[in-house]
Amino acid sequence: MRCLNLARALRDKGASSCFFCRPHEGNLISLVEQNAFPVVALPAPATDRGPGAYKDWVGASPEQDARDSLDALGERKPDWLVADHYGLDAQWERSMRPHVGRIMLIDDLADRLHECDLLLDQNLHAEGARRYAGLVSNLCRLLIGPHFAILGPSTRPLASPRGRGAAKSRGYSSTSGAPTCAMQPASRSTPCR
C-alpha cells in the first residue's frame, strides 16, 4: 500500500508509475490496476511464502528476483527505483544499482544492510535515525518518523501540507509481492510494457 500511495501522490504531481510484482497469494496486483497503474507480473513463485524468514517471502533468490526485475525493466533506466519489501537487502540493491539512477527504500525493520540513496522509515522510534547506523552508507538520506508517512487519499486531509512542489517525473514500480517504484523525468520516460 505504501508504494501505491506514493505512486498516487506522484501522479498528482505529473508522474507516472509502473509496478513490477510477483503474483503471490493475496497480492495487490488487481488493486494497483484498479488505480490505473500498469503492472508487470514477474514469474510466479515456485512455492508461496510461509511463516518463514522475510527473505523467503520474495519467492525467488535475490539474484533471480533481480534478473526478473531487470527483464521487466527492459531497456529503461529510470532515475529512481523505490522498493518496499522486507525480503530485499543490499545484495538485491547492488544488482539493481547499475540499471537505475537512484534507489529509495521503504523499511521499518532496521535489521539488514541496504545500498540505497534514500531510506524512508515512517514509524516512531526512540532511536530515530540511529537505528540505521552501520546498515546504510553515510551518503544515504534518511527520512525517519511519522511526519514522513505515506498516507492514502482517505487520510490525506489529516496530514499537514508541505507546500513544496515536486519535480515532474515518471516512475516504474517493481517488487516481488510488495511494490517497488523507479522514477525518471517525464521528458526521458518510456511507457511501461
Alpha helical stretches, state H, the chain: 2-12, 29-34, 62-73, 90-96
Confidence (pTM) = 0.76
Residue 179 pLDDT level (bands cut at 50, 70, 90): very low
In whole angstroms, give the CA distance from residue 22 to residue 24. 6
Residue 3 near residue 178 (C-beta atoms within 8 A): yes
Domain ranges of the chain: 2-155+167-188
In whole angstroms, give the CA distance from residue 87 to residue 67. 16
3-state SS of 29-46 is HHHHHHCCCCEEECCCCC
Q: Pick 155 or 150 by higher pLDDT.
A: 150
Highest mean pLDDT among 12-16, 102-106, 153-157, 180-184: 102-106
pLDDT, position 16: 78
Question: Amino acid identity of 108?
Answer: D
Fold for domain 2-155+167-188?
Rossmann fold (3.40.50)
